[in-house]
Amino acid sequence: MRLINQHLSPPAATALKFAPFALLILAYLLGSASRLAENPNDKLLPAFSSIAAAVDLMAFTPDRRTGDYLLWTDTWSSLKRLGAGLGISTALALVIGIGIGILPFFRALLVPFVSFVSMVPPLALLPILFISLGLGETSKIALIVIGVAPIMIRDLAQTVLALPREQIVKAETLSASSWLIAIRIVLPQAMPRLLSSLRLQLGPAFLFLIAAEAISADSGLGYRIFLVRRYLSMDVIFPYVAWITFLAASADFAIDRLHRKLFPWSELEGGR
Rounded to a whole number of angstroms, the minimum distance from the CB of residue 247 to other proteins is 21
Nearer to other proteins, 31 or 112 (CB): 31
How far apart are alpha carbons 126 and 122 in whole angstroms?
Answer: 7
Residues at the site binding other proteins, with contacts judged by CB under 8 A: 19, 23, 26-28, 30-32, 34-35, 38-45, 50, 53-54, 57, 64-65, 127, 130-131, 134-136, 214-218, 223, 226-227, 229-233, 235
Least separation in angstroms between residue 79's CB and other proteins is 19
Q: What secondary structure letter does DSSP report for 175?
A: T
What's the CA gap between 88 and 141, in Å, rounded? 9
Residue 147 beta carbon to other proteins: minimum distance, rounded to whole angstroms: 18
Least Å distance between CB 4 and other proteins? 16
Closer residue to other proteins (CB): 182 or 217: 217
Cα–Cα distances (Å) from 45 to 25, 58, 132, 198, in that order, read 12, 18, 40, 35
CB of 267 to other proteins, least distance (A): 36
The CB-side HSE value for 228 (13 A sphere, CA atoms) comes to 21
Dist CA 99 CA 46 (whole Å) = 53
- Provide, rounded to whole angstroms, the least separation between the CB of residue 69 and other proteins: 15
User: In sequence order, what are the residues at sequence separation of 6 or more whose Cβ sits closer than 8 angstroms to the Cβ of residue 178?
Assistant: 102, 103
Residue 105 makes CB contacts below 8 A (sequence gap 6+) with none
Query: Contact 152/198 with Cβ under 8 angstroms?
Result: yes
Nearest to 130 by CA among 117, 118, 143: 143
- Name the residue nearer to other proteins (CB basis): 23 or 254: 23
CB 223 within 8 A of CB 213: yes
Cβ distance to other proteins smaller for residue 226 or 243: 226
